[in-house]
Structure 1
Amino acid sequence: MRTPLVFIDGDQGTTGLQIHQRLRGRNDLQLLTLPAEQRKDPQRRAEAINSCDIAVLCLPDDAAREAVASIHNPAVRVIDASSAYRTHRDWTYGFAQMSPEQAQRIASAHRVSNPGCYPTGAIGLLRPLLNAGLLPSDYPISVHAVSGYSGGGRAAVEAYEGKHAAQASPFQVYGLGLKHKHVPEIQQHSGLSERPLFVPAYGAFRQGIVLTIPLQTRLLAPGTDAATLQACLERHYAEMESVQVMPLQSAQALTHLDPQQLNGTDDMQLMVFEGEGQVLLAAVFDNLGKGAAGAAVQNLNLMLAGLTG
């Protein structure tokens, strides 16, 4: 059987470099990238994408749309790491642990949209609780998240690691217009009927995320407390790889959350904390792992298995 050909379009960006490094040396696929002088040649890029089995797009949104529009070979399958198609009805959302059926959907899909880093944590926490009826779909959700500066791409990495790094802010909250592009993605794939409030921030560390969602128990389904929510999450992820739910007692013993705790892994850890009449949902993961390149490779592995299955 022919070894599948995987084309990475945009392998010089933060996510693309990580994906290339992860795939380099694997013998179950052939890896295709373009030399520097051909990366901006539309004809050469179109030839490459139409000759591959699976294309991984690590491009800005508009460039990703152009790349998809250039595909005329119906056999080509695509994983898009941009936000261009994350809420598109004809694309399969690439969060394999989102539901028991999602991994199989990804394995058989022709078009897969890789999740955003922040939405991975928010959807991972919210969707099981909404599906179980423990959280009302119109709950006024607030999502607070701090990411390493690599989440801002090459420009942010240069700002923190380049010649002007001493002037970089140690912490910055952004998206103050409350129109961040991740909001529709979070709302649609978690199952919320109302727009969530999303407050993102960057810290002066390279990678890692802590994402938290505060809840008031008086606004939840009757009888719902931290133990109910934790048990629901634990049931949902019990048979799934890459997502772990911390036991409630272990979570209560924590005094802080380290966004860098799972750096270098493709895992995500979910936690539930309780207070008087209040609950805090939390997720910790690597924004370049489960939040980007790791998720793309997980999706690629599912799609490769679909080719041979």
Structure 2
Amino acid sequence: MSYKVFIDGRHGTTGLKIDERLSSRADIEILSIPEAQRKDAAVKAEYINSADMVFLCLPDAASRESVSLLAPGNTRTRFLDASTAHRTHPDWVYGLPELNAGQREKVKNAQKVAVPGCHASGFIMLVHPLVAGGIVPADYPVSTYSITGYSGGGKEMIASYEEPAYLADEMKSPRFYALGLAHKHLPEMQHMTGLAHKPLFTPIVGNFAQGMVVAVPLLPRALSKKVAPADVQAFLAEHYAGQTFVKVMPLDAAPLLDNGFLPATTCNDTNRAELFVFGHEDQILLAARFDNLGKGASGAAIQCMNLMLGVDEATGLAS
């Protein structure tokens, strides 16, 4: 069986990756709107309503506008929105199948799914189970930092790194950003973990194209239960047992590190997320490593699409 897919925003970073991942699949027919008609709402409405699946790879306002073009009574066309527009909207399902025992079924049956943000994906995979399991109290003052490749910033940021003949020294170093502490992923990071307050989030962009590590420090003395790193690792391992794309790594992670370092690029070109627990009795550090363009964007979207279409979840994705 062949499914018709329309990628609205096909020429952006995420749209291009989705197109690339789907182009070789015999079960997918990609509907391509003529370049001259991309901004014609009536033409776009025809493409949306003739598709089985619509990927929205657009700014928030444009995503909402495209959803509004769905014809009344059309329950066949289904949406996967990669923008931040609908990630906390009650009518949309959050596209993280591994979130809890019932989330995969919700994604499978949904007409509208919001694809998680890249930073948010790592944070939620680490923190949600611990809050739900009563280990991290909902009012814990959570902080998190995340280092990402520059591809997450879209075409303009990619160009700022790749086009200059000489890269200025300040561009070569890791750079903190979103220093107003109001990053667009914060609402979903709080909402999907059950935290009473938004975490203090400091993202960092590095001089590498893709890859990501999200880290969350915890102080055992401030947690709801007395736990050691081994307890947290075992709890996360049980929560994610049997998952294809989320792997909780052994507590003794030394053999998995690069001479003691945790590179951000190891999961590139896969849909795999690796979760680590480091520390000792006084301090714990959680870390999630994945491809910001994979499990953090296009890979996650295609994983959800597979579920929604009733095909094998891992089709076209590397674990």
Q: Deviations over 1:91-131 (max 9, x none)?
A: 00001111121111111000000000000000000011111
Aligned pair in 2 of structure 1 residues 154, 131: CA closer, same or farther (>3 Å)?
A: same
Alignment of 1:111-122 (within 5 A): 111-122=112-123
In structure 1, what residue type is equivalent to 2:245? S
Displacement of 1:164 in angstroms is 5.9
In structure 1, what residue type is equivalent to 2:285? L
Aligned to 1:33: 32
Q: Deviations over 1:181-216 (max 9, x none)?
A: 111110000111111111001000000001110111
Q: Take 1:24 and 1:227, find their aligned partners in 2: how far apart are those partners?
A: 43
Aligned to 1:75: 76
In structure 2, what residue type is equivalent to 1:38? Q
Aligned to 2:145: 144
Alignment of 1:133-282 (within 5 A): 133-163=134-164, 166-167=167-168, 169-170=171-172, 171-250=174-253, 254=257, 255-282=260-287
Whose helix proportion is higher, 1 or 2? 1
Displacement of 1:6 in angstroms is 1.1
In structure 2, what residue type is equivalent to 1:63? A
Aligned to 1:88: 89
Q: Take 1:10 and 1:262, find their aligned partners in 2: how far apart are those partners?
A: 26
Aligned pair in 2 of structure 1 residues 107, 233: CA closer, same or farther (>3 Å)?
A: same
Normalised by the length of structure 2, the TM-score is 0.92
1:7 and 1:31 in contact (8 A); partners too: yes
1:109 aligns with 2:110: yes
1:252 and 1:274 in contact (8 A); partners too: no
Q: Among 284, 299, 303, which residue is 2:304 paired with?
A: 299
Displacement of 1:253 in angstroms is 7.4
Q: Take 1:99 and 1:35, find their aligned partners in 2: how far apart are those partners?
A: 41
Structure 1: runs of 5+ lacking an equivalent: none
Paired residues, number: 305
User: What CA RMSD, in Å, does the superposition of the two structures yield over aligned residues?
Assistant: 1.5
Q: Take 2:214 and 2:205, find their aligned partners in 1: how far apart are those partners?
A: 12
Report the secondary structure of 1:292's partner residue: helix
Q: Please identify, of 262-271 and 39-48, the stretch whose mean Cα deviation from structure 2 is larger.
A: 39-48
Aligned to 2:57: 58
Q: Take 1:250 and 1:14, find their aligned partners in 2: how far apart are those partners?
A: 33
In structure 2, what residue type is equivalent to 1:267? R
Report the secondary structure of 1:249's partner residue: coil
Q: Please identify, of 106-115 and 254-263, the stretch whose mean Cα deviation from structure 2 is larger.
A: 254-263
Report the secondary structure of 1:63's partner residue: helix
Report the secondary structure of 2:243's partner residue: coil
Displacement of 1:163 in angstroms is 3.2
Report the secondary structure of 2:7's partner residue: strand
2:228 and 2:281 in contact (8 A); partners too: no
Q: Deviations over 1:161-190 (max 9, x none)?
A: 113662361221011111111111100001
Q: Take 2:53 and 2:166, find their aligned partners in 1: how far apart are those partners?
A: 38
Q: Take 2:241 and 2:281, find their aligned partners in 1: how far apart are those partners?
A: 28
Report the secondary structure of 2:252's partner residue: helix
Aligned to 2:314: none
Aligned to 1:97: 98
1:107 and 1:299 in contact (8 A); partners too: yes
Report the secondary structure of 2:105's partner residue: helix
Report the secondary structure of 2:192's partner residue: helix
Aligned to 1:22: 21
2:134 and 2:225 in contact (8 A); partners too: no
Q: Take 2:12 and 2:115, find their aligned partners in 1: how far apart are those partners?
A: 15
Percent sequence identity over matched residues?
46
Q: Deviations over 1:210-246 (max 9, x none)?
A: 1110111100123211111101100011111100001
Aligned pair in 2 of structure 1 residues 3, 209: CA closer, same or farther (>3 Å)?
A: same
Normalised by the length of structure 1, the TM-score is 0.95
Aligned pair in 2 of structure 1 residues 241, 87: CA closer, same or farther (>3 Å)?
A: same
